[in-house]
Amino acid sequence: MISNFSKEIHKDIIVEIVELSRATVKESQEFKNILIEDIGNNFLKFVVDFEDCEFIDSTFLSTLVTTLKLLIKKGGNLKLSSINPEVQSLLELTGTHRVFEIFKTKKEAIQSYVDNNS
């Protein structure tokens, strides 16, 4: 099965890359399973990179919010990077732009964990 997601590991930080132009309910369960597996492998610092993604729906966004809540309970975090204007509009419309730390680039998001040691 071909995955719509890839990952990079930078020490204790895991970067999940969304390799879809549209991330919807169809892909949200696959992504949720990947995130839960990563948490099960003791990763608590996540970056979700949306460089190639032009749209996410409410179900996909819900997966991100649910995962963030789980990570916070465990002392972790989930940060977003490379958000395009359409995705940013959804985040603002739903108020979730205040919930997530959002970075222009994947590199900046990774660096924020290093700088804050968090």
| DSSP, residue by residue, the chain | ---SEEEEEETTEEEEEE--SEE-HHHHHHHHHHHHHHHHTT--EEEEE-TT--EE-HHHHHHHHHHHHHHHHTT-EEEEES--HHHHHHHHHHTGGGTSEEESSHHHHHHHHHHHT-
Give the pLDDT band (50/70/90) at residue 2.
Answer: low
Q: What whole-number percentage of the chain has pLDDT above 70?
A: 97
**Residue 11 burial by CB count (10 A; 0-12/13-18/19+): exposed, middle or buried?**
exposed
Q: What mean pLDDT, rounded, does the chain reach? A: 94
List domains and CATH numbers for the chain. Answer: 8-116 (3.30.750.24)
Which pLDDT score, from 0 to 100, does residue 3 have? 78
Residue 11 has pLDDT above 70, yes or no: yes
**Mean per-residue pLDDT for 62-74?**
96
pLDDT given at position 1: 54
- Kindly report the pTM of this predicted structure: 0.94
